[in-house]
Amino acid sequence: MATLPKVELHLHIEGTLEPELVMELARAGGITLPYRDADELRARYAFDDLQSFLDIYYENLVVLRGRGDFAQLAHAYAARAHEAGVVHAEVFFDPQAHLVRGVPLVDVVDGLVDGFEQARAEFGITADLIACFLRDRPVTEALTTLDELIALEAPIIGVGLDSAEVGNPASRFAEVFDRAKRAGLRSVAHAGEEGGPDSIRQALDDLGVERIDHGIRSIDDPLLLSRLADQRTRLTICPLSNVHLNAVADIASHPLPALIEAGLHVTINSDDPAYFGGYIDRNYDVVVDAFGLDDEAVAALAHNAVDASFLPDTRKREIRTRIDEWLSVPESGAVPGRLRW
């Protein structure tokens, strides 16, 4: 059965650190961990909310110390993403989470580039990097991190904003995003994951971002919904993440169908697949099953991601053709269903 070609736009490379790789890197680096094996670590992956996940996510980073570790992480994600049909990914990384541990930024960036270059040669998958600022850390730290990225001429295409949303308003980071834009960078921000509609408005109005990561709480505000539909704001939705972090009660009550009905431009992504039970293919599968999407609806979601990407037009055209080829082959995978465009 052919695999739908996909573009992934919401993926934290640190969130692809599988328990087996945590153990392997710990062993290789002589790092002692408080659990015996990967199963024991995985058993801790039951989260109440975003913060309880972030606590473990940051804790596990202790095993990422050198350029080679980051290369291995990037390559492992790219290999798995390739299997899932991903042909291009715009990949988040958290520079501050490594800088505060004393890991030089150049090693993080060079390692990720090494891993993705190797994967491109092997699988043809392409990746661009987006540096995210941690909204629960000082703005001054975000500014110096941005300056360091620019001074290094790090090959990033844009900046993002992530970590704990509630209590850490996006508006504080206006100067950071302004400086990034003046440096020619694209911009995105997490908003409306746990925070309400105002959090989304701040990301749009105070940071001027081009995409909203998550944005599911826009469903609570009809005025905001109309605005997002009218201005074609792209949302990067992560269904399994929302379920695992209790942002929604279960997949059946996810607002995805309602957002589509409201005319929003939504995409499907995996967020932190090592923690939330699956990569992008599984995220597509769960929404196909839960909402009875037919092949055309699934291809429309894949097209949305191409449109929402920061890729040049030539590459967008190439991927659109591959999606249309997938759709033209009968029995390509998704079940016939109700939800159509």
Residues that bind Zn ion (CB under 5 A): 271
| Strand residues in the chain grouped as ranges (E) | 6-12, 86-93, 126-134, 156-162, 186-191, 211-214, 234-237, 265-268
Side chain identity at 1, as an amino acid letter?
M
Partner whose binding site includes residue 193, from Zn ion, ligand ADE, none (CB under 5 to 8 Å by kind)? ligand ADE
94 Cβ partners below 8 Å, 6+ apart? 12, 14, 132, 134, 162, 163
Residue nearest to Zn ion (CB): 271
For 150, phi and psi rounded to 5 degrees?
-70, -45
> Smallest distance from the beta carbon of 242 to ligand ADE, in angstroms?
9
> Smallest distance from the beta carbon of 57 to ligand ADE, in angstroms?
6
Sole binder of ligand ADE in the list 162, 203, 225, 311 (CB under 6 A): 162
Q: Is 90 in the site for ligand ADE (CB under 6 A)?
A: no
Partner whose binding site includes residue 269, from Zn ion, ligand ADE, none (CB under 5 to 8 Å by kind)? none
Active site positions, annotated = 193
> Smallest distance from the beta carbon of 167 to ligand ADE, in angstroms?
13
CA 9 from centroid of its chain's CA atoms: 5
Residue with Cβ nearer Zn ion (248 or 299): 248
Q: Is 8 in the site for ligand ADE (CB under 6 A)?
A: no
> Smallest distance from the beta carbon of 241 to ligand ADE, in angstroms?
5
Q: Is 98 in the site for ligand ADE (CB under 6 A)?
A: no
Q: Is 163 in the site for ligand ADE (CB under 6 A)?
A: yes
Residue nearest to ligand ADE (CB): 162
Fill in the per-residue mask, 191 to 230: x = in contact with ligand ADE (CB under 6 A), - = not in contact: --x-------------------------------------
Partner whose binding site includes residue 50, from Zn ion, ligand ADE, none (CB under 5 to 8 Å by kind)? ligand ADE
> Smallest distance from the beta carbon of 38 to ligand ADE, in angstroms?
20
Which residues in the 234-293 window bind ligand ADE by CB under 6 A?
241, 271-272
Which residues in the 43-82 window bind ligand ADE by CB under 6 A?
50, 57
For 101, phi and psi rounded to 5 degrees?
-95, 5
| DSSP three-state, residue 341 | coil
How would DSSP label each residue in 68-100?
A: HHHHHHHHHHHHHHHHTTEEEEEEEE-HHHHHT
Give dist(CA 190, CA 10) in Å, integer.
10
Asked if 183 contacts 158 with a C-beta cutoff of 8 angstroms, the reply is: no
Side chain identity at 163, as an amino acid letter?
S
87 Cβ partners below 8 Å, 6+ apart? 5, 6, 7, 124, 125, 126, 319, 322
Tell which residue, 317, 281, 278, 273, has the closest CA to residue 82: 281
Where on the chain is the footprint of ligand ADE (CB under 6 A)?
A: 12, 15, 50, 57, 162-163, 190, 193, 241, 271-272
